[in-house]
Structure 1
Amino acid sequence: MAEQDDEEEFGAEEADEARPPRLRLSRRGVAVLVALGALLAGGLGWTVFFSAALDVRRVAVQGLDSGQLTSGEVERALGATARGPLARVDLDEARAEVAKVPRVAEVEVWRGWPHTLRVKVTERRPVAAVKADDGRFVQVDAQGVEFATEPQPPSGVPVVALQLSGPAQDAIQVVDRPALVRSAITVAAGLPPAVAKQAGSLTVYSYDDIRLQLASGATVRWGSAEQTARKAGVLTALLARKAANYDVSAPDAPAVSG
């Protein structure tokens, strides 16, 4: 038993000798390390947030596929928000500034280290053009937002016109002109792309008498803007037959003539 105890004690001594010595720092050493860490963190923070080393040097804009909005317009909208250290750019403010551009529907902004501010825009798409009093055409998107005015209407969308009937003019206090235009926009936004490309004009005679003129010369009697999705589906099926007149004002009982 004594020999066994001696062997165990000898083994413990060998283990102690094999174990590396522990590194122990004095209070002064700890203080020095803490000071060095703070100095390093402070230097890094100053470099990132205050020095010119990581300034914004480039604005990269994505989503400009219509040819109507340029990266220069987006950069000008950003203005001073795209200057100085990249880390200090207020992304919310940058988004808000770009969102003020009429053609921009949605915008995302993020940092592209070390020197790039990245912007992704979704442009508004016209679903109709409304002829203004000065003869120019106001482009309107599916949400009814007017975002551009041009001398000519964009291709592939109908031109909205009001030719109010007598009763409609008498009821203008109940259903005013802006409401009638909105009804036409609702119809235009609901047209399938294949039909929208054929659309020449969208004329409002009254709240429940909206008519679509196709490039072929055919007329589509739409009725009101109610059940637009249903009417669009019915019209798509009817267009398989060549005719001069299509009536989807009552989508459950459509008619074709001429």
Structure 2
Amino acid sequence: MTGTRQRRRPPAPRAGEEQRAALARERRGRRTEEERRRTRARTSARSGRAARAAARKNRPTRGQEIRRRWVALLTVVTLAALGYLLFFSSLLSVKTIEVQGAKTVSVDQIRATAAVPPGQPMLRADVDAIRDRVAQMPGVATVDVSRSWPTTLEIAVTERTPIAFFDSGPGGDGVHLVDGGGVVFKTVKTRPAGLPELKLPKVSVDDPVTRAVTAVLGVLPEQLLKQTKTVTAQTPASVEFTLADGKTVRWGNAENTDRKAKVLAALLTQQGKIYDVSAPELPTITS
């Protein structure tokens, strides 16, 4: 008898159980998300209540608010009063102008040139403009203007120092003083003693020859400068001067001053008429 083979059928999928499990997971997820939202809402509410409580706690009382307003008002009034006092009131206005350093330049002329309006408040006095006006005066080299509170302006000047002069000759307008920068700053009636005379084609601060000559005079040793009577030059490198004893010195340009002065001092101990130190390494004496 032939046995009959029975086939086992695979168990049917438990679709119902899987669906129920999926639904359970979904419900758990929704509950978890909903719990998180509720937690955030409760936290936010607590934070809001805490912030409102802190704001109520820090809110100034009516008395404090009134005091603050009064302080603000008094601050504004004080600043306005201070601004008026500094910029418009006569209490802190210019009452005195002190001039320092003026010897040959007239103090009254300096004050007039400064042109400070009477009673002008100190802070409205334009010290830069005052300085520029005074600096235009011929005898003034430098100017410094400052405020000395409460009511004084100080003007400190450095006058120009003459280093030489030139005579405009017959029909001219007199004898002119020249400073170390070649500036012609003053006219006098007589030749000043102790200053060398410039004999140049022209004398001007814009003239290179004038500047070269005054530069040489500015670096000459004092003893040699006192002996110098006249100075001439045709170019900036051909400065030449005559001493009180009639000797002529060919100096050249304004370079190597110390070397030239030492060489010239040695040469002047020898007989001669023209002493050339324009090239101090190769000095010459001409009889």
Q: TM-score range by the shorter chain?
A: 0.7 to 0.9
Counterpart amino acid of residue 145 in structure 2: V
TM-score, length-normalised on structure 1? 0.73
TM-score, length-normalised on structure 2? 0.66
| Separation in 1, partners of 2:167, 2:61 | 83
Structure 1: gaps (5+ residues): 1-21, 164-176
| Separation in 1, partners of 2:151, 2:106 | 21
* 8 Å CA contact retained: 2:182, 2:210: no
- CA deviation string 1:218-253 (max 9, x = no partner): 32122x3x2x23145423453364455432122212
| Separation in 2, partners of 1:196, 1:30 | 76
Counterpart amino acid of residue 32 in structure 1: W
Considering Cα pairs closer than 8 Å and 6+ residues apart, tell me whether 1 or 2 has the greater RCO: 1
Identity of counterpart residues, as a percentage? 31
* 8 Å CA contact retained: 2:212, 2:237: no
* 8 Å CA contact retained: 1:162, 1:203: yes
User: Does structure 1 residue 199 correspond to structure 2 residue 199?
Assistant: no
1:99 positional shift: 0.9
| Separation in 2, partners of 1:196, 1:125 | 15
Match of 1:230 in 2: 256
User: Does structure 1 residue 252 correspond to structure 2 residue 281?
Assistant: yes
Match of 1:214 in 2: 243
Alpha-carbon spacing, 1:209–1:111, altered in 2? closer, same or farther (3 Å) = closer
1:208 positional shift: 5.6
| Separation in 1, partners of 2:265, 2:236 | 24
Counterpart amino acid of residue 228 in structure 2: A
Structure 2: gaps (5+ residues): 1-59
| Separation in 1, partners of 2:91, 2:66 | 34
Worse overlay, 97-106 or 151-160? 151-160
* 8 Å CA contact retained: 2:229, 2:243: yes
Task: Please report the RMSD computed on the Cα atoms of aligned residues, expressed in angstroms.
Answer: 3.0
| Separation in 2, partners of 1:126, 1:79 | 27
Provide runs of 4+ in structure 1 moved above 6 Å.
Answer: none
Q: Which of 100, 104, 107 lines up with 2:140 in the alignment? A: 104
Question: Where do 1:44-55 residues align within 5 Å?
Answer: 44-55=82-93
Counterpart amino acid of residue 149 in structure 1: T
Question: Where do 1:1-258 residues align within 5 Å?
Answer: 25-64=63-102, 67-80=103-116, 83-133=119-169, 134=172, 136-162=174-200, 178-204=207-233, 209-222=238-251, 224=252, 226=253, 228-231=254-257, 233-239=259-265, 241-243=268-270, 245=273, 246-256=275-285
* 8 Å CA contact retained: 1:160, 1:204: no
Alpha-carbon spacing, 1:238–1:229, altered in 2? closer, same or farther (3 Å) = same
Number of residues paired by the alignment?
Answer: 220
- CA deviation string 1:45-91 (max 9, x = no partner): 21221111111111112222xx3113212111101357511121111
- CA deviation string 1:148-182 (max 9, x = no partner): 1222344433111148xxxxxxxxxxxxx945444
* 8 Å CA contact retained: 2:209, 2:234: no
| Separation in 2, partners of 1:156, 1:23 | 86
Alpha-carbon spacing, 1:30–1:99, altered in 2? closer, same or farther (3 Å) = same
| Separation in 1, partners of 2:95, 2:173 | 43
1:135 positional shift: 6.1
* 8 Å CA contact retained: 1:48, 1:54: yes
Structure index of larger Rg: 2
- Report the 3-state secondary structure (helix = DSSP H, G, I; strand = E; otherwise coil) of the residue aligned with 1:114: coil
